Amino acid sequence: GKSATGNSILCQPMFESRLGAQAVLRKCQLATGTWNGRNILQVDMHSIFDKAQDQEMYKHIGDCYLLSAPGPHVLLLLSQLGRFTAQDTVSVKEVIGAGAMRHVVVLFTHKEDLGDISLNEYVVKMDNYNLQILVQKCENRYCGLNNQATGEEQREQLEKLMAVVENLERDNQGNFYANNLFPDAQVPQRSGDGTLGEEHRCYLATVQVHIEEQKQDLNETGSHWAFKAVHRVSFLSISSFIFTSFFLLCILKFFLVIFFVLLSFL
């Protein structure tokens, strides 16, 4: 899972992780570590693919923004080998938005399930169209991870992941991902009895509006694409009809000419 992957990256058990049918993480968590002398701040977010209630989902997303402000340099999108679906693609676009894809690295977990096949072969030959599109939009930034690995194997797979991360940062000139939610992200304020403060509730309302706008944009984009597709098909159908009619008229004219020529010889 995500928490186990976070522990693998940090090389220490910072997030609670155990095998089970349901996710252990019920809220976003933050942990820090180092890699080759470099400080790493990692936010473990509740799964965007879970069927959570809307209000609960907005809180998870809002907490993630609050913990990662002013913005993350890299967004690790975890996907277990063979589990990515079309609905997952929609969830990714709704939560992080299309503009965030230039900061995304797809991280395949359970790399050990590949057996003798390399990860590159798996990505090239996989028949999951939705995952292929996602990898293309991430400009083929992907890596694999075996959370059970130890010693040299763990070090090697982390070196590969960090190399992808550093190349991404270099391509983005060190800029982190930001949208209109990050400037308003602040440390959650709670009232004396431990409940969420008014400031935090207002921020979560802003998160909800932001996500709903992204959903609407996706729907409008999909509708526009569908209209263009229907228009293209209609245009092709009309063009085919016109061409066929013109072709038949030419044939008819040809036979009329032949007919009149024969009459002139009679």
Helices (H) and strands (E) in the chain, counts: 7, 5
Structure confidence at residue 262 (pLDDT): 47
Band (264; pLDDT cuts 50, 70, 90): low
Query: What are the φ and ψ backbone dihedral angles of 28, each rounded to 5 degrees?
Result: -70, 145
205-251 pLDDT tens trace: 888 888 888 778 777 765 443 334 344 444 344 444 454 555 455 55
For residue 125, being part of any structural domain is answered with yes
Instruction: Determine what percent of the chain is predicted with pLDDT higher than 90.
Output: 26
For residue 107, being part of any structural domain is answered with yes
Band (26; pLDDT cuts 50, 70, 90): low
Structure confidence at residue 189 (pLDDT): 45
List all residues 6 or more positions away from 78 whose beta carbon is below 8 Å from its beta carbon. 2, 5, 107, 109
Q: Which residue has the higher pLDDT, 195 or 114?
A: 114
For residue 181, being part of any structural domain is answered with yes
pTM for this structure? Answer: 0.73
For residue 109, being part of any structural domain is answered with yes
52-65 pLDDT tens trace: 557 777 888 888 88
Give the range of the structural domain holding residue 57, as residue numbers without chain letter.
2-185
For residue 16, being part of any structural domain is answered with yes
Band (21; pLDDT cuts 50, 70, 90): very low
Structure confidence at residue 232 (pLDDT): 47
Distance, first Cα to last Cα, the chain: 91
CA distance 266 to 249: 26
Band (141; pLDDT cuts 50, 70, 90): very high
Q: Which residues of 27-51 are buried (b: 16+ CB within 10 A; e: fewer)?
A: ebbebebeeeeeeeebbbbbebbee
Instruction: Determine what percent of the chain is predicted with pLDDT higher than 70.
Output: 71
Q: Is the separation of the CB atoms in 24 and 17 below 8 Å?
A: yes
CA distance 204 to 200: 6
Total structural domains within the chain: 1
For residue 249, being part of any structural domain is answered with no
Q: What mean pLDDT, rounded, does the chain reach?
A: 76
CA distance 218 to 235: 25
CA distance 149 to 156: 10
Q: How many CB atoms lie within 10 A of CB 262?
A: 9
In the predicted model, what is the mean pLDDT of residues 104-124? 92
Q: What is the dihedral of CA 224, 225, 231, 232, to 10 degrees?
A: 150
194: left (phi over 0), alpha (psi -120 to 50) or beta: left
CA distance 143 to 58: 29
For residue 44, being part of any structural domain is answered with yes
CATH number at residue 53: 3.40.50.300
Give the 3-state secondary structure of residue 187. Answer: coil
For residue 194, being part of any structural domain is answered with no
